[in-house]
Amino acid sequence: MSLSEDNRELKHNYIANIGDGAFFGFGVGFASYTTVIPLFISTLTSSATLIGLVPAIHNVGWQLPQLLTASQISKMERVKPFVMFMTVQERLPILGLALVGIFLPYLNVTTALIISFLLLIWQGLGSGFTANAWQIMISKVIPGNIRATFYGFQAAASNLLSSLGAYLSGILLSKITPPYDFATCFFIASGLYVISWIFLNLTRESKRPIDPQAISPTPIWKNMMKILKTDRSFSNYLVSRFISQFGMMSYAFITVFAVSHLKMSTIQAGIMTSILLITQVIANPLLGHLADKWSRKSVLILGCVCSAVSSLLAITVKDFSLFSVVFILAGAANACYWTIGLTISLEFGTEEHRPLYVGMSNTLVAPATILAPLLGGILADMYGYTMMFIVSAIFAGISVTILAILARDPASKVPVIPSP
């Protein structure tokens, strides 16, 4: 291909995958794992444990299976067919939830709960089995020198439309009577997921020649142990990424703390949530561009610093207007973890071993994803929110130290291709 043909191909893939992320985010707004679906489950049970499982199932489902597909993906000339099939498994279950909602009057509550959680597990695992291959596909169609910027714009589009979807879903739930209220939201989400799938399917991925000698026949766990022992920079990056989960454990409690201890009204809390979302929309592309032009590791360090300062400010700021800084810093830290985390995980190792590195970057961090909010809740219950925020800031500081001193910046050595 000529340079102009390469650039046209890049523009096509850039737009197609931004469209995928935007409409997927729009769908998430109508079927949010943190608001809408937990509200739906709350109509079936009063158990806080079951309701709290909804986001946990999604988050753990996204992370845990990524190692399981690494070996298979490394042998694929093209990963797009695998992505297109597996991503159906994370979209179709929402249509199933819509049907559960419609037939609620005819279902036993226990039966409805069991079906709903089976669908949520299916959805979570579907996202996890898709995730590694999707990241590898992106690494093939979006060059490394603009990849963080791409992830930033994709996340910004997703967050923006997700916010709109969440607002519209709130209106629908207040205007439509059961059993059509939640069912309508889930049907709309399913339709938006179809549009997202169409955009994703527009991706043009070239074949990658596979060298059989480059693929190790040894078991995956042996390859993992070898990487952990020999690639010390990556091992330290994993440790930092693991600890950073505990550095961000305060995020789930910032709004609750502000309402209960600072007497923030629900309207003010809503404003703060909007500030958080707007920050992520703005910060994602800006930080992604900064990472591409400056240093991925340095921007990731900046995110960890924002996390620590956010936790410390939460217990020192008493003024409502100044408390918005806490949410702004939390939003920036979240943007760094997602956008830069996705980018930097794709830059360790060779192309043949990249799926294994990506899988390790996510699967090995999954235990921290589960334990961090639990630890935060225990600390808040036993010692108060102040102690929880302090411990969270300490973990963020440890993560910064490890990342800054012991991990290198694995910037991709790729040909510079003009931005679309």
pLDDT in tens, 308-330: 999 999 999 888 778 889 989 99
Alpha carbon distance 142, 149 (integer Å):
10
The pTM is what?
Answer: 0.88
Are both 286 and 389 inside the same structural domain? Answer: yes
In this structure, what token pair is assigned to residue 346? 């794709």
Are both 256 and 307 inside the same structural domain? Answer: yes
In this structure, what token pair is assigned to residue 30? 């109508």
| Cβ count within 10 A of residue 120 | 24
Do residues 236 and 406 lie in contact, with contact meaning Cβ atoms separated by under 8 Å? yes
Do residues 307 and 244 lie in contact, with contact meaning Cβ atoms separated by under 8 Å? yes
pLDDT(221) > 70:
yes
Are both 236 and 151 inside the same structural domain? Answer: no
pLDDT of residue 182: 94
How many domains, in total, are found in the chain?
Answer: 2
Average pLDDT over residues 46-71: 86
**% of the chain with per-residue pLDDT over 90:** 64
Alpha carbon distance 239, 150 (integer Å):
26
pLDDT(418) > 60:
no
Q: Report if residue 5 sits inside a domain.
A: yes
Residues 6+ apart with CB under 8 A from 15: 420
Average pLDDT over residues 20-27: 97
Q: Looking at the chain, how many residues does it have?
A: 420
Alpha carbon distance 68, 157 (integer Å):
30
Average pLDDT over residues 164-170: 90
**% of the chain with per-residue pLDDT over 70:** 94
The values of phi and psi at residue 207, to 5°, are -70, 145
pLDDT of residue 213: 59
Average pLDDT over residues 3-8: 73
pLDDT(380) > 80:
yes
User: Of the residues 203, 228, 249, which one is the last residue of a structural domain?
Assistant: 203
pLDDT(3) > 70:
no
Are both 82 and 174 inside the same structural domain? Answer: yes
Instruction: Name the amino acid, one letter, at 25.
Output: G
Range of the domain at 100: 1-203
pLDDT of residue 419: 47
pLDDT(301) > 60:
yes
Collapsing DSSP to helix, strand or coil, 46 comes out as coil
Q: Report if residue 313 sits inside a domain.
A: yes
Are both 24 and 102 inside the same structural domain? Answer: yes
pLDDT of residue 350: 83
pLDDT in tens, 180-208: 999 999 999 999 999 999 999 999 999 88
Task: Give 50's DSSP letter.
Answer: H
pLDDT of residue 260: 77
The values of phi and psi at residue 242, to 5°, are -65, -50
Alpha carbon distance 50, 46 (integer Å):
8
Are both 97 and 136 inside the same structural domain? Answer: yes
pLDDT of residue 2: 52
Are both 135 and 4 inside the same structural domain? Answer: yes
User: Of the residues 175, 203, 231, which one is the last residue of a structural domain?
Assistant: 203
pLDDT(389) > 80:
yes
Long-range interactions of 390-395: CB distance < 8 A, separation 24+: 390/311, 390/312, 390/315, 391/246, 392/246, 392/247, 392/248, 392/249, 392/250, 392/307, 392/308, 392/311, 393/247, 393/250, 393/307, 393/308, 393/309, 393/311, 393/312, 395/243, 395/244, 395/246, 395/247, 395/249
pLDDT(414) > 50:
no
User: Of the residues 174, 203, 232, which one is the last residue of a structural domain?
Assistant: 203
Residues 6+ apart with CB under 8 A from 283: 331, 332, 335, 336
Q: Report if residue 208 sits inside a domain.
A: no
Alpha carbon distance 387, 375 (integer Å):
11
Q: Report if residue 25 sits inside a domain.
A: yes
Are both 184 and 292 inside the same structural domain? Answer: no
| Cβ count within 10 A of residue 97 | 26
Do residues 200 and 59 lie in contact, with contact meaning Cβ atoms separated by under 8 Å? no
Q: Report if residue 68 sits inside a domain.
A: yes
Alpha carbon distance 128, 367 (integer Å):
15
Residues 6+ apart with CB under 8 A from 47: none
Average pLDDT over the chain reads 89
Q: What is the CATH number of the domain that holds 96?
A: 1.20.1250.20
Residues 6+ apart with CB under 8 A from 148: 287, 288, 289, 291, 292, 296, 299, 339, 340, 343
Q: Which of 4-13, 123-132, 233-242 has the lowest mean pLDDT?
A: 4-13
pLDDT in tens, 87-117: 999 999 999 999 999 999 999 999 999 999 9
Are both 61 and 186 inside the same structural domain? Answer: yes
Work out the pLDDT band at 4, boundaries 50, 70, 90. Answer: low
Are both 302 and 164 inside the same structural domain? Answer: no
Alpha carbon distance 353, 98 (integer Å):
40
Are both 175 and 251 inside the same structural domain? Answer: no
Q: Report if residue 417 sits inside a domain.
A: no
Work out the pLDDT band at 412, boundaries 50, 70, 90. Answer: very low
Are both 279 and 370 inside the same structural domain? Answer: yes
pLDDT of residue 261: 78
Q: Report if residue 214 sits inside a domain.
A: no
pLDDT of residue 370: 83
Instruction: Name the amino acid, one letter, at 108.
Output: N
